[in-house]
Amino acid sequence: MFLTFGEQIAHWMKNPQELYLKPFHVIENVYYVGNYWVSSYLLDTKEGLILINATMSQTANLLIDSIKSLGFDPGKIRRLLITHAHYDHCGGAKAIHDLSGCEIWLGKHDEFYLTESRYMMMFEDTVPEFKVTNFYDYSSVIDCGDIQIKPLHCPGHTPGTTSFFFDVKHKGKVLTCAHHGGIGASFLARDVMARSGIPISMRDTYLMSIENVRDIHVDVVLPSYPARFSGYDFFGASESDDGSGDGFIDSEAWGRTLDAKRDELLAMMLKEEGF
């Protein structure tokens, strides 16, 4: 039976266990604790545990179990960094905060999703209320002791989409890891934009954002939706990696991914014009 995207998500919300994925080590102190659909990364730093995104509210228990099964205490999460305020990244924020009392970080330009819902956020009613404690300062780093996380504003997918860059020391070399905070272009289809009140200029913003970060050197890409990620086979790498993390190193993947997304939007725009 063919399910639309919305129907598929609604199905998973009722059957979150179908999204279960065994958590795994990525590289150095970075772990994958997300599910089959949407990612969440745990960083074990000198300043405590950092969680990047909290998945959907319905999968928060899977996330918490994944953190525990790697031997970490989710009650000790110090900071939750949210890339953008869509239901599938911040739905689990309240559950994580209830357990840990952690700081919750968000891009200032996405705050209105939580206070006004000015633009339609699909499934917004599934996000339990939570309080943002910190907004990203794009001119400085988030100091986590041995890891310095550099947040970069990458508006387009949402106005406040934020990406993260940080270095890890791996076998005597410094490697840059990056997580793009929101790169899906489907929200930028003309009919979706009209329905949700997103200004058409957001497309230019999206393309400019890609341009701004396209040439940053990245060794390890941490995808948002690993199963749909075109940069490289992230789940495949987790199976074939020897435990060192070498399997996740691909310094071309970042550029490849961003180019593909830019081309996807440009093709969609041409199609709308009847080409």
Nearest to 169 by CA among 146, 149, 150, 141: 146
Residue pair 24/31 in contact by the 8 Å Cβ criterion: yes
Q: Which is nearer to Zn ion, 156 or 182 (CB)?
A: 182
Question: Is the backbone of residue 127 left (phi > 0), alpha (psi -120 to 50) or beta?
Answer: beta
Strands 77-81 and 48-52: parallel
Mark the segment that binds Zn ion (CB under 5 A) among 47-55, 79-87, 188-196, 235-243: 79-87
Q: Which of residues 181-240 bind Zn ion (CB under 5 A)?
A: 182
Q: Which is nearer to Zn ion, 182 or 223 (CB)?
A: 182
Tell me the torsion sign for CA atoms 169, 170, 171, 174: negative
Q: How far is CA 212 from the centre of its chain?
A: 18
Name the one range near Zn ion by CB under 5 A: 73-81, 84-92, 164-172, 199-207: 84-92
With 0-12 / 13-18 / 19 or more C-beta atoms within 10 angstroms meaning exposed / middle / buried, residue 14 is exposed
Q: In terms of CB distance, is 92 or 182 closer to Zn ion? A: 182
CB of 55: closest distance to Zn ion in angstroms?
A: 12
CB of 204 to Zn ion, least distance (A): 19
Task: Give the shortest CB-157-to-Zn ion separation in angstroms.
Answer: 5
Closest CB 31 distance from Zn ion, rounded Å:
22
Q: Which of 86, 109, 203, 262 binds Zn ion (CB under 5 A)?
A: 86
Q: Count residues contacting Zn ion (CB under 5 A)? A: 2
Residues that bind Zn ion (CB under 5 A): 86, 182
